[in-house]
Structure 1
Amino acid sequence: MKTEHSFFTTGDGVRLAYRLEGAADRPTLVLSNSIGTDLRMWDGQIAELARRFRVLRYDARGHGASGVPVGAYSLDRLGRDVIELMDGLGIGRAHFLGLSLGGFVGQWLGVHAPERIDRLILANTSSYLGPAPQWDERIAAVRQAQDMRETAEMFLRNWFPAPMLARNDAAIEPFRAMLLATDRQGLAGSYAAVRDADLRRSIALIVNPTLVIAGEHDPVTAASHSEAIAATVPDARLAVLPAVHLSNVEYPHEFLGEVLSFLRAA
């Protein structure tokens, strides 16, 4: 299984890093990362997924090995990054799994490009995380910080349960490293995309079969947000795991079980 990055340049000149794994004759599954991580957030799932799918995972702009444009990002641009990447790789349709920010992107795709998506999985995400002033404060704080150390520890407290942090679980360190390596402009730009997003009404237009995965103890995108998405997207299925925010890391077997069960029904 290859581990190096490939690169694609979007219409606005941003280089996206990606990996394409699995047999070319299998259905494609796109994986989209959260704020503060990169495509390695799916390392625990990739071996099993690549046995069944052609898996396309990428670093969202502002993250990992992808380019970091200056200024605010928009959800529209993040969604178009996926469409352009699929176009560049000759992928007409794909299943899509996004967590947190990736889940926002998935909702955008379901609303604006349903013809490109087969089955849609929205994990630990929300349709709206306002009000805007709190995001302006976070944007200012991350830009003014000397480094990412304090921000990284704040993220980890929101992503993992206290006992897991207290025992310094081995699963946490790769995510600390991802956070510390994240460009602060990329984080600020992504905050802006979340700040300006409000999909609460438009997701009623999604026609793709949809699975919503919630974390029962998620302080970032509360389980009630997932419940609201599942209640708004026609015929959406809701699965609640006893997780905090990174449910694919905290409960990898249960998470993968929900994903594979849903995708097998295609």
Structure 2
Amino acid sequence: MPYAAVNGTELHYRVDGEQNSNAPWIVFSNSLGSDLSMWTPQVAAFSKHFRVLRYDTRGHGHSAAPQGPYTIEQLTGDVIGLMDTLKIDRAHFCGLSMGGLTGVGLAARHADRLNRVVLCNTAARIGSPEVWVPRAARARGEGMLALSDAVLPRWFTAGFFEREPLMLAQIRDVFVHTDNEGYASNCEAIDATDLRPEAPGIRLPVLVISGTHDLAATPAQGRELAEAIPGARYVELDASHISNIEQADVFTKTVLDFLAE
């Protein structure tokens, strides 16, 4: 498995679509409690047109989980550092939830490294201390298995739960094996981040995607984010929080169409 030493942290990453060395790059950033495998439904379609870079956010998957708390500066710096290591001058970026928050930070602070940005099921300010402080404490004190029954039902609609038991078992497996400290430290990074003052300064082409049934990052928050970013467009899918999996085909087409403009 490929790793890169970035900002003092070993980050696990994966590249697809290398057969076309002149293709533009796209970076995918995972949600809290998942890893780069969450983007599997998109890889085949995107690798036909792009060099696809997926990575495990620090504290997740096979990346290292250094002592926290983490910060949005670290999460965005990890992306820039990984791009530097792989000699990627500019890339498109697509992030979901925590990955979307990372994308807001990148678009606001590192616009010279990005082309088009897709912000999914996210907001410039996600949740509140009432959500994140006890969540982090529970991850540290009780572990991820204890959190899974509370968190995962918010990721998908009830219908999806009924239709896709195998896929949900795989997603649950990733969640419960996420490092306790890494998860908690990312909760603290999200809790400490409010990018609402910076969003109006973003000057890149931006697509915001929300899920109609999303309780974690609501459609109202998605619309607020899109309205704050000059020229951003907004699309709402019939999904809950992990829209790229629940509505994989329409998600993929929506993003590809946006990037092809």
Shorter-chain-normalised TM-score: which range? Answer: over 0.9
Aligned residue number for residue 118 of structure 2: 121
Q: Does structure 1 conserve the Cα–Cα contact (< 8 Å) formed by 2:118 and 2:207? A: yes
Aligned residue number for residue 181 of structure 1: 177
The answer to whether residue 47 in structure 2 is matched with residue 50 in structure 1 is yes
Higher mean alpha-carbon deviation, 75-84 vs 155-164, is at: 155-164
Secondary structure of the corresponding residue to residue 212 of structure 1: strand
Task: Within 5 Å, give how 1:89-104 maps onto structure 2.
Answer: 89-104=86-101
Q: Does structure 2 conserve the Cα–Cα contact (< 8 Å) formed by 1:171 and 1:249? A: no
The answer to whether residue 41 in structure 2 is matched with residue 38 in structure 1 is no
The answer to whether residue 168 in structure 2 is matched with residue 172 in structure 1 is yes
The answer to whether residue 78 in structure 2 is matched with residue 81 in structure 1 is yes
State the percentage of identical aligned residues: 39
Aligned residue number for residue 21 of structure 1: 16
- Normalised by the length of structure 1, the TM-score is 0.95
The answer to whether residue 199 in structure 2 is matched with residue 193 in structure 1 is no
Higher mean alpha-carbon deviation, 68-77 vs 149-158, is at: 149-158
Letter in 2 for 1:124: N
Task: Within 5 Å, give how 1:184-263 maps onto structure 2.
Answer: 184-263=180-259
**Post-superposition shift, 1:139?**
1.2
Task: Within 5 Å, give how 1:135-150 maps onto structure 2.
Answer: 135-145=132-142, 147-150=143-146
Secondary structure of the corresponding residue to residue 31 of structure 2: coil
Deviations 1:131-150 (A, max 9, x none): 324311211111110x3222
Deviations 1:105-131 (A, max 9, x none): 000000100000000000000111243
The answer to whether residue 154 in structure 2 is matched with residue 158 in structure 1 is yes
Unaligned 5+ runs, structure 1 = none
Please list every run of at least 4 consecutive aligned residues from structure 1 whose deviation after the TM superposition is greater than 3 angstroms: none
CA distance, structure 2, for counterparts of residue 102 and residue 45 of structure 1 = 16
- Normalised by the length of structure 2, the TM-score is 0.97
Secondary structure of the corresponding residue to residue 166 of structure 2: coil
Letter in 2 for 1:154: A
CA distance, structure 1, for counterparts of residue 129 and residue 28 of structure 2 = 27
Distance 1:168 1:209, change over 3 A: closer
Aligned residue number for residue 131 of structure 1: 128
Aligned length: 259
CA distance, structure 2, for counterparts of residue 134 and residue 230 of structure 1 = 24
CA distance, structure 2, for counterparts of residue 259 and residue 130 of structure 1 = 25
Q: CA RMSD in A?
A: 1.1
Q: Does structure 1 conserve the Cα–Cα contact (< 8 Å) formed by 2:66 and 2:182? A: yes
Aligned residue number for residue 64 of structure 2: 67
Unaligned 5+ runs, structure 2 = none
